């Protein structure tokens, strides 16, 4: 066997794993990443090299033009191993730069926490804490104790509790208040939120029977009234947070439903979704209903998210009457859906910021981004424009542009906020497809050390600068971007 014989001398040039690990380069890499990881990766590399070599040799043998392949030097091999060790140790979950124009972006982790919330997480997580311990009496306490009074003060509720997220808050509320009974809901409010949260399924999960009333565009108070039966437990309102029904429409407000629910001793539950704790109009933003408004209108329970407009960590806040919250708190599912101490610490600190509302526009990143003035956004865009042009100008047109951001996460889906940024368009002279050039650029931006996420729209890449408070984090990565693009071309 010709190939086999010819392969022998070259294969022998690959060092054994043992010898490889003992090399000076190897010791350095082991120092950095540990023997176990380095051994595994070195073994993989050797095995791949061995296979490749055998293949090359059998190819050249069959063509009778065999020439020994130049092997990697050992230190080149160590370079590759070290790179792969570094990649293996890199976090999968990492910071990114959100230039999508969507401020509360569910896929990008929604609200960015305030400094106060971060500091509180750090302070409380580094040591044991009084999570469920009453320091005054020296006995078992309640997790809710840390935020209940604060939430009541801010929303006007009699009682409050908190769970893992708003989806959990809705399921738990319905399970506690309407299990085995009927919940009346308008056909116009049969929402589906991203990630398989659909009202009919939520009702099923909670063990409630859903009674739909009205039509997609119009529902009247009489529709609810006629559907009430001895089996009814809850009148449900859902904020249609990710769509709007416009045109010939009619829906029944919480205020109108409150008297109906009181007459029949039902619970009026409202899933508010985003739920801002403050009136957003003074910040030049459209009005979004607040939990305090809905409670004042007569709701028994209002649920909303911690990480949408509130600007805090993932959490599901439930505020309402003593009676309803007591039932919810006692339900066995509460334990399964409870909030962990990490977001609880951040939530308390975030809620505290609302005690000084005049400072919110500085202290709460979500509100800061949403209310940021155009001039400041344009300054950031201008600072990016030149350097990006220099970096990409060979293949792309980079232009300053006005654009529109959105709040995101379902809040106010129709309203768009005027914003500024840059658009990047592939040059017409590009030989290959302009669409694929744009996708490659977006992909290069995503593979930077701190990935930059834009949005592709109308054959352009939009980089919306609303959430970028200074250009530095992007500018310092342009050398890396150049290298990626040049590599992609070669």
Ligand X SMILES: *Cc1c(COP(=O)(O)O)cnc(C)c1O
Task: Tell the smallest beta-carbon distance from residue 304 to ligand X (Å).
Answer: 8
Q: Is 164:288 a contact under the CB 8 Å cutoff?
A: no
How far apart (Å, rounded) are the C-alpha atoms in residues 60 and 68? 9
Task: Tell the smallest beta-carbon distance from residue 410 to ligand X (Å).
Answer: 4
Task: Tell the smallest beta-carbon distance from residue 287 to ligand X (Å).
Answer: 16
Q: Which is nearer to ligand X, 217 or 240 (CB)?
A: 240
Q: Does 241 bind ligand X (CB under 6 A)?
A: yes
Q: Which is nearer to ligand X, 335 or 487 (CB)?
A: 335
Task: Tell the smallest beta-carbon distance from residue 463 to ligand X (Å).
Answer: 26
Q: Does 197 bind ligand X (CB under 6 A)?
A: yes
Q: Does 165 bind ligand X (CB under 6 A)?
A: yes
CB-CB neighbours of 139 under 10 Å: 8
Q: Does 186 bind ligand X (CB under 6 A)?
A: no
Which single residue is written with the structure tokens 């957003």?
280
DSSP per residue, 325-361 = HHHHHHSTHHHHTBPPHHHHHHHHHHHHHTTSGGGHH
How far apart (Å, rounded) are the C-alpha atoms in residues 275 and 238? 12
Considering only 41, 238, 398, 412, the residue that binds ligand X (CB under 6 A) is 238
Q: Does 167 bind ligand X (CB under 6 A)?
A: yes
How far apart (Å, rounded) are the C-alpha atoms in residues 437 and 419? 25
Q: Which stretch binds ligand X (CB under 6 A): 163-171, 176-184, 227-235, 346-354?
A: 163-171
Letters for 264-303 (x = contact with ligand X by CB under 6 A, - = none) are -------x-xx-----------------------------
CB-CB neighbours of 407 under 10 Å: 25
Q: Is 244:193 a contact under the CB 8 Å cutoff?
A: no
Considering only 100, 186, 305, 460, the residue that binds ligand X (CB under 6 A) is 305
How far apart (Å, rounded) are the C-alpha atoms in residues 424 and 485? 14
Considering only 96, 112, 159, 193, the residue that binds ligand X (CB under 6 A) is 193
How far apart (Å, rounded) are the C-alpha atoms in residues 169 and 159? 14
Q: Which stretch binds ligand X (CB under 6 A): 238-246, 277-285, 321-329, 380-388?
A: 238-246
Which conformational region is residue 40 in: left (phi greater than 0), alpha (psi within -120 to 50 degrees), or beta?
Answer: alpha
What residues between 386 and 415 interact with ligand X by CB under 6 A? 409-410
Q: Which is nearer to ligand X, 133 or 197 (CB)?
A: 197
Q: Which is nearer to ligand X, 303 or 423 (CB)?
A: 303
Task: Tell the smallest beta-carbon distance from residue 33 to ligand X (Å).
Answer: 38
CA torsion through residues 153, 159, 164, 167, sign: negative
Task: Tell the smallest beta-carbon distance from residue 429 to ligand X (Å).
Answer: 45
Q: Does 161 bind ligand X (CB under 6 A)?
A: no
Q: Minimal CB distance to ligand X: which residue?
A: 273
Q: Does 239 bind ligand X (CB under 6 A)?
A: yes
Rg (CA), the chain: 30
How far apart (Å, rounded) are the C-alpha atoms in residues 95 and 73? 36
Q: Which is nearer to ligand X, 170 or 257 (CB)?
A: 170
How far apart (Å, rounded) are the C-alpha atoms in residues 349 and 120? 7
How far apart (Å, rounded) are the C-alpha atoms in residues 395 and 389? 10
Site size toward ligand X (CB under 6 A) is 17
Closest by Cα among 313, 290, 319, 315 to 305: 315
Task: Tell the smallest beta-carbon distance from residue 92 to ligand X (Å).
Answer: 22
Q: Which is nearer to ligand X, 271 or 420 (CB)?
A: 271
Q: Does 363 bind ligand X (CB under 6 A)?
A: no
Pairing of strands 197-198, 192-193: antiparallel
Which positions lie near ligand X, rule CB under 6 A? 165-167, 170, 191, 193, 197, 238-239, 241, 271, 273-274, 305, 316, 409-410
């Amino acid at each position: 066997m010709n190939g086999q014989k010819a392969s022998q001398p070259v294969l022998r040039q690959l060092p054994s794993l043992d010898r490889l690990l003992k090399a000076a380069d190897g010791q350095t890499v082991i120092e950095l990443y540990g023997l176990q990881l380095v051994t595994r990766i070195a073994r993989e590399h050797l095995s791949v090299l061995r296979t490749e070599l055998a293949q090359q040799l059998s190819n050249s043998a069959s063509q009778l033009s065999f020439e020994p392949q130049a092997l990697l030097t050992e230190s080149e091999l160590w370079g590759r191993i070290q790179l792969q060790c570094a990649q293996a140790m890199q976090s999968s979950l990492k910071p990114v730069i959100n230039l999508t124009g969507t401020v509360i972006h569910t896929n990008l982790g929604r609200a960015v926490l305030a400094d106060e919330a971060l500091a509180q997480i750090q302070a409380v997580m580094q040591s044991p804490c009084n999570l469920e311990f009453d320091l005054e009496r020296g006995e078992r306490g309640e997790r809710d104790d840390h935020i209940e009074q604060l939430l009541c003060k801010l929303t006007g509720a009699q009682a409050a509790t908190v769970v893992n997220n708003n989806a959990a808050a809705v399921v738990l509320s319905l399970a506690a208040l309407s299990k085995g009974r009927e919940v009346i809901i308008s056909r116009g409010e049969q929402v589906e939120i991203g990630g398989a949260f659909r009202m009919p399924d939520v009702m099923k999960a909670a063990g409630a029977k859903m009674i739909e009333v009205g039509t997609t565009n119009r529902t009247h108070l009489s529709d609810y009234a006629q559907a009430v039966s001895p089996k009814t437990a809850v009148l449900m309102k859902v904020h249609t947070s990710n769509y709007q029904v416009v045109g010939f429409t009619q829906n029944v407000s919480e205020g109108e439903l409150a008297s109906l629910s009181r007459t029949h001793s039902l619970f009026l539950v409202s899933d508010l979704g985003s739920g801002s704790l403050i009136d957003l109009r003074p910040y030049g933003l459209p009005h979004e209903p607040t939990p305090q408004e809905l409670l004042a209108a007569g709701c028994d329970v209002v649920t909303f998210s911690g990480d949408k407009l509130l600007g805090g960590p993932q959490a599901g806040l439930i505020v309402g009457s003593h009676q309803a919250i007591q039932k919810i708190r006692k339900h066995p599912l509460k334990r399964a859906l409870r909030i962990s101490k990490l977001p609880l610490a951040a939530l308390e600190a975030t809620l505290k910021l609302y005690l000084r509302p005049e400072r919110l526009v500085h202290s709460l990143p979500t509100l800061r981004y949403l209310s940021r003035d155009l001039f400041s956004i344009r300054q950031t865009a201008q600072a990016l424009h030149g350097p990006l042009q220099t970096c990409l100008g060979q293949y792309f047109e980079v232009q300053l542009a006005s654009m529109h951001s959105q709040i995101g996460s379902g809040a106010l889906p129709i309203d768009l906020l005027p914003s500024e940024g840059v658009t990047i368009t592939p040059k017409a002279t590009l030989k290959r497809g302009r669409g694929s050039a744009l996708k490659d650029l977006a992909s290069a931006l995503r593979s930077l050390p701190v990935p930059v996420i834009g949005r592709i729209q109308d054959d352009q890449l939009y980089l919306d600068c609303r959430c970028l408070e200074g250009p530095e984090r992007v500018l310092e990565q342009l050398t890396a971007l150049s290298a990626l693009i040049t590599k992609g071309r070669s």
